[in-house]
Amino acid sequence: MNKKGNITLKNLARSASATALLLIISKILGFAREVFLADRFGTTYIADAYVIAASLPSVLFALFASGFTQSFIPSYVRADPKNKARFFSNTCSVLFLISLLITGVCIAFRQNIVSLLAPGFSAEPAALTARFIAVISFYLPIFTIFNVLTAYLAAQEDFIPGGFCDFILVNLVLIASILIATPQSPMILAYGYVASMILPLAVLWAYARRKHGLRWEPVLDLHDRDFRHLCTLAIPLGLSLMADQINGVVDRMFASGLGEGVTSALSYANRVQSILLTLTTTIFIQVCYPRMNLYFAAGEKEKGSGYVQRALLIACYTSIPLVVMFALYAQPIVSLIFQRGAFSDESTAVTSVCLTLYALGIPFFAFRTILTNTLAANMRQKLILRNTVITVASNIALDFLLVRIWGYRGLALATSLSGALAASLMYRDIRTLNLPVFTRRQAADVVKYTLATACAAAVSLPVYRALLTAWSDELSALAAIAVAGIVYVFVTVLLKSELLIWLHAHLPSRLQILRGYFPVSEDESR
């Protein structure tokens, strides 16, 4: 903060950029984690059990971790300066005890939980899942404190240590546990899951104590005014953030009855889709959301809407060709990433179909993420929660309907369709706020992306077929995708995409190689 206690835009941009870089590294490590898991356990019942057990705390994490973490910062900033230390200690104490109680319930009723989450499991995978849950449940109280600590540091404008521990250190411990685990000793996966948070928490706590003099005092007050304010913000937000997790749990419930390996195949495909979503949308939001939030908070809706417009265009520019490329080359891509060790041809076939259907939803998931953040910046949490409830209900209904028609394919398709519904609902609510986030000018640019994608696909397919005579399926697909990418960028430049003009205008002058071709107006240079 500056001397007046205001966060500067320069500091925000620097911190957000560093966080975005850590997030990219995190996704790379997360990708490697999935590759190692596929190599070790493929789509066996062990992988299925691990996915189910890890999904249980994930739902609760959205409420306790994400909900309270995102709400802690504004609550902490608004708290009485004399009460800030007490507020932190009280928040840690209350949330730790609640999460510890939930852990005890999960352990005591683990058999019932398995029956609920995976009703189609046979005796052996069900028993292993219960053993996993008995250990993994201890992750929740540890992760809860870790996230409160991360939020505290963020309130001090100290973002990097929490990001490093969360994005990097956690993944490194998880990868190590997967490499050590074997089919004969699967419980190492569960112990590694818990250890992946114990070590980061210890490191981060030591840092906060040394750098900021942080202490956790023995305070427990449910009636504290600042804590009650925290709850009013966190609970609606946390419930809305649980949407994806709940949808995932429901998908796995249905998948558990479709045979061994379907649950893990859906998980592998969803991980790849999640990485792509991060690369196409989340990073941009990490960098631009703070400034967008400040503009909306200051009542400068036009400037705030400008960032939303660019975010939506970037999402369209990157996601539209991805949908087509995965529709064409999902199988060789999955084979290249996962097919080794215990990951068989059958595993590749099932996972690639799931990936294709998940990829259909990438543009809608991107839109939903951007528009949800826009509503949050305009303090419309109730609208977010309402739309979340509708989306979850629609996903459950679609799962029930489509799984009977297309089996596991129906589950992946239902996720994409519910994402489209969520994006539509968010856009409808954005329009009621009179925010010009998607104009005819942006729509015209999307048409250009679509034409460019069609040209790229038309060129890449003959290249792919020609290379198959000399190269493997995987290398041929990679080369075809590379050619498609070059064609796509060339055509969008040729069509003078508004987004590329804007990005070109913000490059250093020495890098503006298309200065004569891309006219830069005053509007475009903002």
Does one domain contain both 249 and 376? yes
| Helix or strand (DSSP H, E) at 27 | helix 9-41
SS3 label, residue 506: coil
Domain membership flag for residue 344: yes
Q: Is residue 353 part of a domain?
A: yes
Which tokens sit at 69? 């973490």
Give Cα separations from 65 to 47, 70, 95 (angstroms).
25, 8, 10
Q: Which of 371, 506, 361 is nearest to 437 (CA)?
A: 371
Contacts of 491 (CB under 8 A, 6+ apart): 448, 451, 452, 455, 456
The contacts of residue 427 (CB under 8 Å, 6+ apart) are 367, 371, 437, 438
* Residue 116 domain-assigned (yes or no): yes
| DSSP designation for 341 | T
Q: What is the pLDDT of residue 284?
A: 64
Residue 246: both structure tokens together: 């709940």
Residues 463, 477 share a domain: yes
Q: Which amino acid is at 437?
A: V
- Write down which residue in 216, 240, 264 finishes a domain: 240
What CA–CA distance (Å, rounded) separates 300 from 293?
Answer: 10
On whether both 400 and 254 belong to a single domain, the answer is yes
* 120, 261: one domain: no
Tell which residue, 215, 377, 359, 218, has the closest CA to residue 295: 377
Same structural domain, 317 and 465: no
Residue 25 lies in a domain: no
Looking at 419, 438, 457, which one is the last position of a domain? Answer: 438
Q: Is residue 404 in some structural domain?
A: yes
Size of the chain, expressed as the number of residues it contains: 526
Query: H or E stretch including 11?
Result: helix 9-41
Q: Are residues 122 and 167 in the same domain?
A: yes
Mean pLDDT by 10 residues, the chain (526 residues): 44 61 81 88 89 79 66 75 87 90 92 89 92 93 89 80 86 94 93 94 94 87 81 72 74 83 84 75 62 72 81 87 90 87 85 91 86 78 83 90 91 91 90 81 90 95 92 92 93 86 66 62 46
How far, in Å, are 146, 161, 277, 368, 455 from residue 359 at the CA level?
32, 33, 9, 15, 20
Do the beta carbons of residue 308 and residue 370 sit within 8 Å? yes
> Does residue 151 share a domain with residue 124?
yes
Instruction: Among 199, 220, 240, give the residue marking a domain's end.
Output: 240
**pLDDT at residue 249, as a whole number:** 79
Residues 257 and 172 in one domain: no
Backbone angles phi, psi at 223, to 5 degrees: -95, 5
Q: Is residue 525 part of a domain?
A: no
Q: Which residues contact 138 (CB under 8 A, 6 or more apart)?
A: 103, 194
Largest CA distance in the chain: 73
CB burial string 35-69: b at 16+ within 10 A, e below = bbbbbbbbbbbbbbbbbbbbbbbbbbbbbbbbbbb
Asked if residue 395 lies in contact with residue 415, where contact means CB atoms within 8 angstroms, the answer is yes
Domain shared by 295 and 392, yes or no: yes
Contact 418, 247 (CB under 8 A): yes
pLDDT given for residue 524 in this prediction: 45
Q: What is the pLDDT of residue 254?
A: 87
Report yes or no: 117 and 263 within 8 Å, Cβ to Cβ: no
pLDDT at res. 246 = 77
**Residues 262 and 408 sit within 8 Å (Cβ to Cβ):** yes
Q: What is the C-alpha radius of gyration for the chain, rounded to an integer number of angstroms?
A: 24
Contact criterion met (CB below 8 Å) for 157 and 211: no
Residue 369: its pLDDT value, please? 80
Task: Read off the amino acid at residue 108.
Answer: A
Instruction: Report pLDDT digits (tens) over 268-314.
Output: 888 888 777 776 666 666 566 656 766 776 778 888 888 788 888 88
The answer as to whether 34 is a domain residue is: no
232 and 247 housed in the same domain: no
If one counts the domains in the chain, the total is 3
Long-range contacts made by residues 363-366, C-beta under 8 angstroms, separation at least 24?
363/315, 363/316, 363/319, 363/320, 363/323, 363/423, 364/416, 364/419, 364/420, 364/422, 364/423, 365/273, 365/277, 365/281, 365/419, 365/423, 366/277, 366/280, 366/281, 366/315, 366/319
Q: Report yes or no on 454 lying in a domain.
A: yes
519 DSSP assignment: -
Domain holding 62, by residue range, is 43-240
Same structural domain for residues 50 and 185? yes
pLDDT of 5? 39
Output the CA–CA distances (angstroms, integers) from residue 91 to 71, 76, 186, 259, in the order listed. Answer: 12, 10, 35, 43
DSSP 211-274: HH---------TT-HHHHHHHHHHHHHHHHHTHHHHHHHHHHHHHTTS-TTHHHHHHHHHHHHH
Residue 511 tokens, joined? 């890098």
Amino acid 413: pLDDT:
92
Which three-class secondary structure state does DSSP give residue 185? strand
- The pLDDT of residue 3 is 41
* Whether residue 52 is found in the same domain as residue 197: yes
Nearest to 435 by CA among 311, 281, 296: 296
The reported pLDDT for the residue numbered 7 is 44
- Report pLDDT for 127: 94
